[in-house]
Amino acid sequence: MMTPEKEAFIGSLHDDGVTDPRVLDVMARIPRERFVEPQLAHRAYDNLPLPIACEQTISQPSVVGRMTQELALDSRMKVLEVGAGSGYQTAILASLCRRVYALERHATLAEQARSRLAALDITNVILTHGDGSEGWPLHAPFDRILVAAAAEDPPRPLLDQLKVGGIMILPIGEEGSIQQLIKVTRGVKEFTYHELISVRFVPLLHGFR
Ligand code: SAH
């Protein structure tokens, strides 16, 4: 049984184009309140981004849902996530694929995200403090790549680390201006690009802290 609050949450995701029942089911189960500061827990099921530590944000749930849906995940897939932040998107991905390799450039956030995932018994995630703009060559290639911070162009290392037939979802555009969420599909010979929706993400920065 879903609480009225959860029902309204799922309804607002659906209204915003998150229609894949598997994605909605996972988002109804993952407790978003565990991924925000305790004083913001009462707003966890508003369809809004919220501030987290290190001046970053937990993404808007409908955007998390759309990105997840566009990845068309299955239980055999290996996924790279760049910009794990709170770990909320990581938890959702982990529920729909074989393993998530997640990178976060803020050590504090990486540490918090790891302990939240462990507390929820989510064990198919390897989450490390590091610069995801270079991808993760050790574990490449990936079936899917999700980037949660905006670059001006798709980073070359990430394109290189995507399998043939693979999909990458990432926001493209400058900080503070309108960005587009892009779906990149790798074919045998070329990459194809589709614009999905307008979004607003923090910038993808190089190096880590
Ligand atoms: N989906 C996450 C989004 C967090 S915001 C959530 O809902 O919590 C994006 C995150 O990307 C921030 O935590 C930021 O620190 C991180 N980030 C930015 N550039 C990065 C990089 N080059 N490598 C890894 N993480 C990066």
Judged against a pLDDT cut of 90, whether residue 157 lies above it is answered with yes
User: Whose C-alpha lies nearest to ligand 1, atom 10?
Assistant: 83
Atom of ligand 1 nearest to the CA of 90: 1
Q: Whose CA is nearest to atom 13 of ligand 1?
A: 85
For residue 199, the cross-strand partners are 179
Residue 95 DSSP label: T
pLDDT band at 176 (very low <50, low <70, confident <90, very high): confident
As annotated, the active-site residues are: 59
pLDDT digits (tens, 9 = 90+) for 64-120: 999 999 999 999 999 999 999 999 999 999 999 999 999 999 999 999 999 999 999
Q: Is the pLDDT of residue 134 over 80?
A: yes
Mutate to test the pocket of ligand 1, among 34, 82, 125, 129 (most ligand atoms within 8 A of CB): 82
> What's the half-sphere exposure (Cβ side, CA atoms, 13 Å) at 17?
10
Task: Compute the distance from residue 2 Cα to the ligand 1 centre, in Å.
Answer: 30
pTM for this structure? 0.97
Q: How far apart are CA 43 and CA 28, in angstroms?
A: 15
Tokens linked to 72: 């068309």
Q: What is the CA(202)–ligand 1 centre distance, in A?
A: 7
Instruction: Look at residue 177 and tell me whether its pLDDT is greater than 90.
Output: no
Render the burial of 56-89: b for 16+ CB within 10 Å, e for the rest.
bbbbbbbbbbbbbbbbebeeebbbbbbbbbbbbb
Pick the CATH number of 4-199 from 1.10.3720.10, 3.40.50.150, 3.40.50.12160, 3.30.160.100: 3.40.50.150
Q: Are 149 and 202 in contact (CB under 8 A)?
A: yes
Q: Compute the distance from residue 150 Cα to the ligand 1 centre, in Å.
A: 9
Nearest Cα residue to atom 11 of ligand 1: 83
